[in-house]
Structure 1
Amino acid sequence: MPTTRTSRDGFRMSDVLAVALIVIFAVLPFPDETFRGDGLLLIPGLAPAVVVPFRRRWPLASLGVSLACVVAVAAAGSISPSALLAVAISCFAVLDRLGRRIGLLALGVSVVVAVLANGWALGGDLFDSTALQFVLLIVLGGALGDTARSRREFATAMTERAERAERSRDDEARRRVAEDRVRIARDLHDVVAHQIAVISLNAGVASSSLETRPERAREALTTVRSASRTVLADIGGLLTLLRADGSDGSDDEAELRPQRGLSDLDALLSGFRGAGLRVDLRRGRREIALSPGGDHVAYLVLHEALTNAHKHGRGGTATVAIRAEGAAVHLTIVNPTATESSPPAVGNGLRGLQERIAAVGGAVHFGSEGGVFSLEAWIPTAADTSS
């Protein structure tokens, strides 16, 4: 870091060139004697060459010394081209380093001082063409300094913008990864949890009934085999979906992901009843019209609630009520709980269910009271969703 700072604020080739120009302008034999610096006038004519190399660190000090040399030479009745050139170089540094507000103020003061000093040296002639050329040189130096600063600020702004864009892309990538993880977790839970529970329960039934009730054991093993095939097929579909990169432009996500709905309700209840859960279904007479997404979410609500009733409930019973309420479908699942003292903890299944219901604009409420766990969900109908 010190080396970088020295290279930026220390001497450069441009400093050598600036000093050389000031020295040349100080000793150059101009045709007009007013612009010649002889004898002691060489001291103020060459003095700016000492401070100009430090103009980047102390731009105002360099400008002040240069203007003082201009005034000192003017007091002797001469004009110092070298000091005026140093003023132009210093104005460049002020506008480049200190910004436009301070730079323009310093440039205005420098122009006024240069014009008045030249007029003093020329006996009141403020509009001498040769003297005005050096004034225009000062203005040009300030304009170039402002341009250099603007270009540097523009480059800095573009760099910061590129860095922010890069950070935004990284944040977006991390957000997408997190969303994909949550989606995969939900899909795995929806696809696997119930089937694994069915397999586990029926394997237990088969083990306990193998000697006493062989026909019951055979039924349980048949259910285990069917559930195993189902879960293997569903996992295969999920793996196919995860491996697809979409480069072929096909949109097979809807086909690969299980999208069951209330039309599969009878098969769902049959599976739970076959696993030993007694389900009492109560359906309203009014026809239900759900969007494809809402229909799938309604199926998942019943799936999750009955799975929890089967795994954590007491008595092996559950009551399901489905009815239309205004612009929504109201689902209610009630079952006795294994423990009356405390409600069951919110697991990944219920948490994922909340997210899915919220995604279709619905609402869900669940809780345990008096040894009974209830889950209620409201899912907007297709007409309400479209409006």
Structure 2
Amino acid sequence: MAPVTTDPTHPSPSPPPWVADLAVIVLVISISFVPFPDSPTRPVTPVMLGVVVLAAAVMTVRRRWPVVALTTCMVLYGTASLLGVTTQGIALATAVAMYSAAFRLLRKWTLLVGAVSVSLIVVFTLIAAIGNVADPRVVQFVLMLGLGAALGDATRSRREYISAAIERAERAEQTREAEARRQVSEERLRIARDLHDTVAHQISVISLNAGVASSVLSSNPERAKEALGTVRKAARTVLGEIGDLLAWLRTSEDEVEAEAAVRPQPGLDQLDGLFARFRAAGLELKVETEGDLGTVDGPVSTVAYRVIQEGLTNAHRHGADHRATLTLGVGHSRLTILVANPTRSDSTPPTGLRGGYGLLGLRERVAAVRGTVTAEPASSEYRLAVTIPLTKEASR
């Protein structure tokens, strides 16, 4: 059994093309024996029989060469008309060839070919009808030709429409998949930034105070006890923050949005507590402020808080003598943040692959509010400089 072909523009499988061609051939030959009223149309002569068979044979190439098939049918119909015998079979073959040509050609070419074909058919038929323009054969054949052109053009248009719809659906599906991958990537980056912001700072506090406790355990037990108390407090804080993060990861999207709407984000109004924690951890911090920090709110305030947190953490971990200077400037159109700390000769700035994730996340946060970041050594100190525009677009 021959395989059944599947057309992507049709919802169900369609039979192979040769089945339709065979049906047309049988119909062309059979209908040639049906006479018009009061008109001999049966191909009783070998010449007429050959014309009908040749017209039927042309149907086998109408899909590959539709214009050639239509031209051949026109010539055969003209031959039959000049011989004075009209055949419905040749008329049907010509109409089918016109359908194939309209299916393959653009509409403007279909109209041109159809107009030429109708003109020639009218001429041939008038010759056979001896000048009678009202002969039913003229009207019948012209209507068949027009119907074939209309059906071919409609089928082509419908297939083009369905193909375009399928292509749009495929592009939309690809776009959805790309958007899903982008959202997953952005979510992973955001989780990485949140994990670093909530955990890395406390881990640094634990590490630094553990070092202090171990170094002064014998010489200054009170200082060691104080450092261990800070370690314990930081450990509890980090456990709570990790628990909150895990709980947040297990919640649904709607619950996350609802929680984000009511859960306050750290901002510049919480700097005093941040400074106190760093000073308690042993960082000698000097803060210089110019302008009113209370005018900065929204995402800019949160990003500025994270910038200061990251800058002071790096200064505490990598700087010399555990000293840092923070300079904040609030202007009419921008917020500037500068964290400077002296460097040790054996220290490595936190810009490498292993130590650069914090700065990488910081750059992403600042870029989200259209700000710029500069982190580089200058003379005997290391500077982290951030500029954030104070505009409506940056606050969105």
Aligned equivalents of 1:71, 1:372: Cα separation in 2 = 99
CA distance in 1, matches of 2:348, 2:221: 39
SS in 1 for 2:103: helix
1: CA distance, partners of 2:211 / 2:288: 30
- Aligned partner of 2:192 in structure 1 is 185
Equivalent residues in 2 for 1:325-364, closer than 5 Å: 325-339=331-345, 344-345=350-351, 347-364=356-373
- Structure 1 window deviating more from structure 2 (195-204 vs 281-290): it is 281-290
Partner residue, 1:374: 383
Aligned residues: 384
CA drift at 1:255: 4.8
Residue 359 of structure 2 aligns to which amino acid in structure 1? L
Shift in Å at residue 309 of structure 1? 0.6
Once the two structures are TM-superposed, the CA of residue 60 in structure 1 deviates from its matched residue by 1.9
Match of 1:43 among 50, 75, 93: 50
1:68 equivalent to 2:75? Answer yes
Match of 1:90, as an amino acid? A
Aligned mates of 1:384, 1:137 — CA distance in 2: 66
- Find the partner of 1:268 among 253, 274, 277: 274
**Maintained 8 Å contact 2:286/2:326:** yes
Alignment of structure 1 residues 232-381 onto 2, 5 Å: 232-247=239-254, 251-255=258-262, 259-284=265-290, 286=292, 288-339=294-345, 344-345=350-351, 347-381=356-390
1:9 to 1:111, Cα distance in 2 relative to 1, 3 A: farther
Residue pair 1:95, 1:146 contacting (<8 A) in 2 also: yes
- TM-score, L = length of structure 2: 0.88
Q: What is the deviation of 1:29?
A: 3.3
Q: How much has 1:287 moved relative to structure 2?
A: 5.6
CA distance, structure 1, for counterparts of residue 364 and residue 357 of structure 2:
11
Q: Deviations over 1:60-118 (max 9, x none)?
A: 22212211111111221222321111100110111112332333332222212211111
Q: Tell me the CA shift for residue 286 of structure 1.
A: 4.5
Q: Contact 2:340 / 2:383 at 8 angstroms: preserved in 1?
A: yes
| 8 Å CA contact 2:366, 2:388 repeated in 1 | yes
Q: Deviations over 1:18-47 (max 9, x none)?
A: 122211222223333354432132221232
Give the deviation of 1:207 after TM superposition: 1.9
- 1:231/1:124 Cα in 2 relative to 1: closer, same or farther (>3 Å)? same
Describe how 1:14-53 pairs up with structure 2 within 5 A: 14-33=20-39, 35-39=41-45, 40-53=47-60
1:324-349, CA deviations, whole angstroms, 9 ceiling, x for partnerless residues? 22233322211112349986526122
Query: What is the letter of the counterpart of residue 82 of structure 2?
Result: A
* Residue 41 to residue 309, structure 1, CA distance change in 2 (3 Å): same
Give the Cα separation in 2 of the matches to 1:343 and 1:304: 13
Task: State the alpha-carbon separation in 1 of the partners of residues 101 and 176 from structure 2.
Answer: 39
| RMSD, aligned CA | 2.7
1:11 is matched with 18
TM-score (norm 1): 0.90
For 1:198, the aligned partner's letter is V
Q: Residue type matched to 2:296 in 1? A: L
Q: How far apart in 2 are the matches of 1:125 and 1:340?
A: 111
Q: Which residue pairs with 2:104 in the alignment?
A: 97
Letter in 2 for 1:319: T
Q: Is residue 318–residue 348 contact of structure 2 (8 Å, CA) maintained in 1?
A: no
CA contact (8 A) 1:366 1:376 kept: yes
Mean Cα displacement is larger for which, 259-268 or 280-289? 280-289
3-state SS of 2:32 partner: helix
Confirm or deny: 8 A CA contact 1:332 1:377 kept in the other structure: yes
**Cα separation, 2, equivalents of 1:182 and 1:35:** 82
Contact 2:342 2:382 in 1 (8 A): yes
Q: Does 1:121 align with 2:121?
A: no
Tell me the distance in 2 between the aligned counterparts of 1:51 and 1:90.
9
**Equivalent position amino acid for 1:348 in 2:** Y
CA drift at 1:187: 0.6
For the 8 Å contact 1:84–1:134, the answer to whether it is kept is yes
Matched with 1:133 is 140
Contact 1:261 1:299 in 2 (8 A): yes
Aligned CA distance change for structure 1 residues 383 and 160 (closer, same or farther; 3 Å):
closer
What do residues 215-242 of structure 1 show as CA deviations (whole Å, max 9, x unaligned)? Answer: 1211111000010111111122222222
Q: Where do 5+ consecutive residues of structure 2 fail to align?
A: 7-13
CA distance in 2, matches of 1:245, 1:229: 26
Are the aligned partners of 1:22 and 1:83 in contact in 2 as well (CA < 8 Å)? yes
Q: Secondary structure at the residue paired with 1:367?
A: strand
Contact 1:289 1:382 in 2 (8 A): no
Separation in structure 2 between the aligned mates of residue 380 and residue 254 of structure 1, nearest angstrom: 24
Structure 1 286/82 Cα, relative in aligned 2: closer, same or farther at 3 Å? closer
Using the alignment, how far apart are the partners of 2:349 and 2:144 within structure 1? 85
1:166-215 deviation digits (Å, cap 9, x = unpaired)? 11111110110011011111111111111101101111222222223221
